[in-house]
Amino acid sequence: MRYIKALGNYFYLSTDDGFVRVSEDGKVEPLLADQIVTAVFPPEGSMYAITWNGPQLSTSLYKSATGSSWEQLANLRSETKMLSYYPVNDTLLLASYNSQLFKIDMGQDMVFRELDNTGLEGHYISSVAKVSDRVYVGTLSGLFTKEVEHLLTYKEEGE
């Protein structure tokens, strides 16, 4: 098993043989036979998946409204499969890599904007969660917090 995520009444699993979902009663439904999923996240009422196709050496973005049928939206840069994704609420999706934070805008493609990570430099991000009006960033060395209204400060180009 390479990936597992519980969403709604299903588990979504990825193995070397592809991507499947498992119902509460144990029924296994094949979804994408030729893709290894590295992330699934549900912003804005849909489900998205980042996939890796080894034989084609490609990374892709898939979308599903129901979780049972998936359509490929875009080919992505291979680095996107290395990010950890955090749906903060229905409209805000963040991602991290080491100590970097990114805001992601979904559409027919993914648009990444790096956020100001002052104070997080050198602290490996392991989780992000929103509680009330604060966002908490868990790292291997401690817990950091920021008010939601100050979270979306973008890093300037060249920083």
Q: Examine the pLDDT at 46 and tell me if it is beyond 80.
A: yes
Supply the pLDDT for residue 81: 87
Mean pLDDT, the chain, rounded, equals: 90
Span 87-123, pLDDT tens digits? 888 888 999 999 999 999 887 678 899 999 988 999 9
Q: Examine the pLDDT at 159 and tell me if it is beyond 80.
A: no
CA–CA separation, 36 vs 49, rounded Å?
Answer: 10
Supply the pLDDT for residue 20: 97
* CA distances to 14, 46, 70, 72 from 67, in Å: 14, 8, 7, 13
78 SS3 class? helix
Average pLDDT over residues 82-90: 89
